[in-house]
Amino acid sequence: MDAAKVELLRALGRLVRGLSTLFWGMPVALFICLETARTDWLGFLGDAAFVPAMLAGVVLYYALRQLRDFQKQERIWHQALNRAEILAVINAGLAPFLFWWHKFPAITFYIVCVDVFVFSLLLFLMQINQVLRRLSAMLPDENLRAETKMFTAFNIALFMAAFIGLAVYFGLAQAQVLPRAIARIIAGDDPRGLWLLLFLSLMPLAMTLAILWKIKEVIFLSIFHQD
């Protein structure tokens, strides 16, 4: 086997490893971040209870770095990766504020950092869909390319709707006078706003994971079919 094919197989192996890490890492990171912000489930770690949330962000950054060796000459592909990596670093840096905000919810600086983290997380998920679209465009499976293009466009639209919805929510939260129905949603007394936000976020996340897994399986099978 020549050196070029060996290097290609090595790059494909890292690509599969990175996609697998993303597949398992994203839902685990989301769960850790939510529980860090909501509960004291990591209270036994004391003042270091913020570390798991930060490490979850680091794992996602590591996963993206594993994708870098594939098609190094493709500029658009690597630009998409660069943007995703930057957002992963931002998320890892802001994740500890979830714990500190849970402990001191009245501190304005912590509130702002958590708000920025939420928006950055949505941008990260949108960018992951862009990465998957660019990746599928370089693969020989025409059906996979068509499916990925369609579903990533739908996912990005839903994530953008959630992004805009959060922006409106945070804007209304600063208003002094609001209609009673809107005030109830803002205060959390009406669960409809929460369910809508969960729908706009979790459904595209699930579809993103499904696309990611399918791409990984196609690449994994291609490794064993190399002549």
pLDDT in tens, 123-147: 999 999 999 999 988 888 888 888 8
Asked if 123 contacts 165 with a C-beta cutoff of 8 angstroms, the reply is no
Amino acid 91: pLDDT: 93
The DSSP call for residue 41 is: T
| Count of helix runs (H) and strand runs (E) in the chain | 8, 0
Q: How do residues 189-225 score in pLDDT, each as one tens digit? A: 444 445 555 666 678 888 999 999 988 888 877 766 6
- Residue ranges of the chain with pLDDT lower than 50? 182-183, 185-193, 227
d(CA 227, CA 104): 60
Q: How many CB atoms lie within 10 A of CB 211?
A: 23
Amino acid 129: pLDDT: 94
Amino acid 46: pLDDT: 77
Helix (H) or strand (E) holding 209: helix 192-224
d(CA 73, CA 54): 32
Q: How far is CA 77 from the centre of its chain?
A: 18
Instruction: Report, in angstroms and rounded to the nearest whole number, the Rg of the chain calculated over CA atoms.
Output: 20
Handedness of CA 223, 133, 119, 38 (dihedral sign): negative
Q: How far is CA 140 from the centre of its chain?
A: 26
| Nearest to 13, CA basis, from 1, 23, 25, 5 | 5
